[in-house]
Amino acid sequence: MVNWQTLAGAIPPLDEASMAAARARQDTLTKPQGSLGRLEALSVQLAGITSQPRPRVPRKAVIVMAGDHGVVRNGVSAFPAEVTPQMVLNFLRGGAAINVLARQAGARVTVVDVGVAADFADAPGLIRRKVACGTADFTRGPAMTAAQADEAIQVGVDVVEAEIAAGLDLVATGDMGIGNTTPSAAIVAALSGRPVASVTGRGTGVDDAGLARKIAAIEAGLAVNRPDPNDAFDVLCKVGGFEIAGLAGVIIAAAAHRVPVVIDGFISGAAALIAVGLAPAARPYLIAAHRSVEIGHTAMFDLLGIQPLFDFDLRLGEGTGAVLAFHVVEAACRILDEMATFGEAGVSEKGE
C-alpha cells in the first residue's frame, strides 16, 4: 500500500510530447483548425494526462464516497441524516440516478462507506472503510482529527489503486452525505476568504430559515476552529467531511497514475480544492464536468483555475454530472483518434 503523501509528491507533469503530437494531429484533421473548440483542447489535455498522443478511455468508473456530518444537527439540511444509508442501499440496488447514467456511459459504480452513521452488510459494489460514524459537529470543534483525515484520504487512494488494478482509464468523483454542501461551503469560504453568505447555497433545497441556519453554522465553525487558509489539511480537519477527504485521495492517486479525473459538482469541487492544496501537481489532471446551482461553485473554479464543460442546473451530486461528462471526454478522444486527416481523405487543405 502506497501512502497518499508519497503519491502526492510523485505526480508527473503532463507529457508535453504527447500534447504536441495531439495538437499536430488535430491541425491535420478534416476540419478548419480549432473549429471543434474546447473539444480539441480537451483531447490535447487528455493526451498530456495519459501520455498517449491518441488517448482512449474505454474503462470507466465512478467512485461514490459516502459519509455523514455532525453539523446536520444544526438544521442545515432539508433531509435527515437517515437518508444517507438509505441512498447507499439504493446505489447498491442500481436504482439511483448515478446508476442509470453510469449504465448509459458504460461505467462501473463503486460505493465506499468512508463515514456513514450506519453499518452495512457486505454487498457487491460496496467497499466498507468506515473511519467513523460521521464527522463531529464543527460548530463546536474540529470535524475530524488529523489521524482521521489522514485515514480518509488514504481510503480514496486505496480504492483507486484497486480500480486501476482492475483496469481504469477514466474516473469520476461522486458523493453521498446529507448536509455535505455545508462543509463544502465552509471549505471554499476558508480557502477563498470570501464571505460565507456569498458561497453558501440551498443544497437539497432548504428554505430561507434553513439557509440562515446553514450560514450561521458555517460562520460559527470558522470562528471556533480558525482553519489556516494556507494549509489544506488543516481546513479539511477543521470543517471538512470524510467523503470529501476520500475524494481528495481519489484525485491524488489517479493523477499519480496518469488517470484523468472528471470532478462532479460542489462537493467534488471541495475535494478538488483539498487535493490541489495537498498536491498542486494534481491540478492539470482535473476535468470539471459542470457548474452546479450552488453559488459557491464559481468561487471553486476561480481558485482551481479551471472551467466546467457544461451548465445544466444540476444539484444532485452522486457523480451524475461527471458521468454525463464521460460522453464528452470520450467524444474528444474519438475525434482525435478516428477522424480522417486531409491526406487520408483526399481533401484539399486551405491554400492548396
Q: Are 188 and 295 in contact (CB under 8 A)?
A: no
Of residues 203, 175, 187, 189, the one with CA closest to residue 72 = 203
Q: Are 57 and 169 in contact (CB under 8 A)?
A: yes
User: What is d(CA 183, CA 237) in angstroms, rounded to the nearest whole number?
Assistant: 11
Count Cβ atoms below 10 Å from residue 215 Cβ, excluding itself: 20
Determine which one of 294, 318, 338, 352 is catalytic.
Answer: 318
Q: What is the largest CA-CA distance in the chain?
A: 72
User: What is d(CA 17, CA 162) in angstroms, rounded to the nearest whole number?
Assistant: 29
Query: Got the DSSP string for 236-278?
Result: HHHH--HHHHHHHHHHHHHHHTT--EEE-SHHHHHHHHHHHHH
Written as one letter, the residue type at 91 is F
Is 318 tagged catalytic? yes
Q: What are phi and psi of 94, to 5 degrees?
A: 85, 20
Q: Residue 109 gets which letter from DSSP?
A: E
Of residues 62, 29, 127, 70, the one with CA closest to residue 317 = 62
Sequence-distant (6+) residues with CB within 8 A of 344 are none
DSSP reduced 3-state for 209: helix
Of residues 153, 133, 154, 136, the one with CA closest to residue 144 = 136
Active site residues: 318
